[in-house]
């Protein structure tokens, strides 16, 4: 009984530590992206003088948009060349749902991954799909390279949202959504056909997340 209790306590503390480190990691990656933008006046991947200034292999076009299939492949390469990240193991990904070629970096503390891209908002949030914004997407990096799959439980996603924003999955700078095209896996609960909050009664991994860069 005592051993079982100690094992449970260890697992609980380990999970809390991993979640805290994930929150810090998300915040640090966003801060690094914004720092790059402040120093060079362009987002990584979009920097038009990256070859000349930071010895990159690619210049962006400087239009303040992370262009699909081109600039999106050089986001983390630009950051690494600027000494803002030190992991050189960028993984190529093809997002089949959006027909995007992109690169990403894996989390050290979870099976989440990070991508900087320009797109419309998440699937289940009612906005114009013609409105494009740069954002940091946080989702599963270990499942066939498709970052439309979830990487955290609803409770963890809610806790991250509370720490970094307002705790509301459809408002603010931190947003969450159900897994793409999978209506059985619910991250957000509805009431009277409206998206209202995280489905915290569901302990499965259901949430895809993003941080807007403003």
152-194 pLDDT, tens digit per residue, is: 888 899 999 999 999 988 888 898 877 655 555 578 877 666 6
State how far the Cα of 61 lies from the Cα of 48, in Å rounded to an integer: 5
pLDDT in tens, 58-115: 999 999 888 767 888 889 889 999 999 866 656 656 555 555 667 778 888 888 888 8
Q: How much is the pTM?
A: 0.82
DSSP readout, 23-49? HHHHHHHHHHHHHHHHHHSS-TTT-TT
């Amino acid at each position: 009984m005592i051993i079982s209790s100690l094992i449970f306590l260890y697992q609980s503390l380990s999970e809390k530590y991993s979640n805290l480190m994930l929150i810090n990691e998300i915040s640090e990656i966003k801060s690094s992206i914004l720092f790059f933008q402040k120093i060079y006046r362009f987002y990584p991947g979009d920097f038009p003088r990256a070859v000349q200034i930071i010895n990159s292999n690619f210049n962006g076009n400087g239009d303040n948009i992370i262009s699909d299939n081109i600039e999106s492949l050089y986001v983390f390469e630009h950051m690494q060349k600027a000494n803002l990240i030190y992991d050189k193991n960028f993984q190529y990904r093809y997002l089949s749902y959006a027909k995007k070629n992109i690169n990403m970096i894996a989390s050290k503390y979870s099976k989440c991954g990070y991508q900087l891209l320009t797109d419309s908002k998440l699937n289940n949030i009612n906005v114009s799909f013609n409105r494009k914004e740069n954002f940091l997407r946080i989702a599963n990096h270990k499942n066939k390279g498709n970052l439309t799959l979830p990487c955290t439980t609803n409770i963890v996603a809610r806790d991250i949202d509370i720490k970094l924003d307002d705790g509301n999955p459809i408002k603010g700078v931190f947003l969450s959504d159900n897994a793409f095209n999978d209506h059985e896996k619910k991250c957000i609960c509805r009431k009277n056909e409206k998206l209202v909050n995280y489905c915290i009664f569901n302990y499965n991994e259901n949430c895809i997340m993003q941080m807007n860069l403003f």
